[in-house]
Structure 1
Amino acid sequence: MHLLTCPECQVSVPVATSQAGGRTQCSGCQAILEIPTLGQLRQLPVAEGSVNDDDAYVNPASSGGSIAFGIVGLLATAALVVAAYTGIRWSLIDVPVTTDLHIAEYQNAYTKLPAAQLIREYEQMEEFGIDVALPYTYVTMANTKSDWGWTSATAGGVALLAVLAMLAIGVSGRKRK
């Protein structure tokens, strides 16, 4: 606060910089005083025990709050982009056959085969085994779709946490008056 001197009674009236260009009442003679503009007000003496308004302002960039907010914001943006991309990839993969449908097709096919063919199938299973060297194509497609889905969900979770962190940083960085 600055001290404005009343021209009539010479009493010093404390004036805040936010009152620049306005009017105030003198505490001594009750006269209305015109408060000078901000540039002229800053040339007046400062009241003892008061904090200068310029010193009370803390630049948020100097505390690192805005830097952390920006970094977490970039993390949130990147996570949202990854979540969107992987979510689109997940939705575009169509798995036409499931294990249940595959088993049902084989059961249906075996019921239509003649007995001699079933005996040959059984002998081949005994000779070569029933192990499959590679997974079926539909299983590979289902696994790929599942991987894209989990990646999308994980990136979405990271994005949500980053947005919550941004809110926390933004709220904690505010100057309380």
Structure 2
Amino acid sequence: MYLLPCPHCDHSATVGPAQAGDQIPCPQCGQSIAVPKLGELRQLPTAETSDSDQKERDAGSAGHANRPTVLFTALGLLAAGLFLAAAFCAVNWATISVPTTTEGHIAQFEEAYQEVNSAQMIREWEEINRNGVDLPAMYKYRAMELDKQAWLRNTSLFFVAGIVAVMAAVFVGRGSRSADA
């Protein structure tokens, strides 16, 4: 039962949740009092608690009332941003076409060396011994291959982080719903 003040004489009438949205007569002055809806009715002091207890409880919970909603919204926005980043990375991954792979490149060398005669192989060997096998730069296909792998890894990381943010938002949403009940 809740204490509803009369707007005409300030006497408190006792109302129950079943009377939410109805009109009741004031027990003091007899004027009609509009009973608020259930959400507003629950904010009124109850017949069992005093006004000072209700004011303390309202003051303590006023700062915490919007925190779950703000946190839920923030986590939802974070999840949306993470999924957008994952989509961006996936598009970049899909648009990189690597002309060959390391295995294909080795197969090309093996095929080319089968057509080379012994004298050419000896000259190649001597050149390798003289100059070494260090390449001044990475093969272009290998750099593209590494870029493609990096985009796929970033896609996976952003997607997993988005799923975690969604799960956290659901957890916060359920927690605030059970706290309201």
TM-score with structure 1 setting the length: 0.71
Match of 1:105 among 96, 108, 111: 108
Matching residue of 2:65: 62
**Bigger radius of gyration among the two:** 1
Distance 1:63 1:132 in 2: 61
Distance 1:51 1:19 in 2: 22
Match of 1:124 among 114, 123, 127: 127
Matching residue of 1:32: none
Moved >6 Å (runs of 4+): 54-61
Contact 2:100 2:141 in 1 (8 A): yes
Per the TM alignment, residue 36 of structure 1 is displaced from its structure 2 partner at its CA by: 6.1
* Amino acid paired to 1:124: E
Task: In structure 2, list runs of 5 or more residues that go unmatched.
Answer: 5-12, 25-31
Per the TM alignment, residue 83 of structure 1 is displaced from its structure 2 partner at its CA by: 0.3
Contact 2:96 2:144 in 1 (8 A): yes
Distance 1:51 1:91 in 2: 66
TM-superposition CA deviations, 1:115-144 (whole Å, max 9, x none): 222222111111101111211111101100
Per the TM alignment, residue 96 of structure 1 is displaced from its structure 2 partner at its CA by: 2.3
Change (3 A) 1:113 1:151: same
Per the TM alignment, residue 22 of structure 1 is displaced from its structure 2 partner at its CA by: 7.9
Per the TM alignment, residue 38 of structure 1 is displaced from its structure 2 partner at its CA by: 1.7
Distance 1:47 1:105 in 2: 85
Per the TM alignment, residue 147 of structure 1 is displaced from its structure 2 partner at its CA by: 0.7
Change (3 A) 1:112 1:139: same
Distance 1:114 1:48 in 2: 105
Match of 1:38 among 26, 30, 35: 35
Distance 1:93 1:51 in 2: 70
* Amino acid paired to 1:72: L
Matching residue of 1:28: none
* Amino acid paired to 2:35: L
Change (3 A) 1:18 1:117: same
Distance 2:15 2:47 in 1: 12
Change (3 A) 1:95 1:47: closer
Identical-pair percentage: 28
Contact 2:2 2:47 in 1 (8 A): no
Task: In structure 1, list runs of 5 or more residues that go unmatched.
Answer: 5-12, 24-34
User: Secondary structure at the residue paired with 2:119?
Assistant: helix
Moved more, 117-126 or 153-162: 117-126
Change (3 A) 1:161 1:51: farther
Contact 2:90 2:152 in 1 (8 A): yes
Matching residue of 1:19: 19
* Amino acid paired to 2:172: I
Distance 1:82 1:171 in 2: 27
Matched, 1:49 2:48: yes
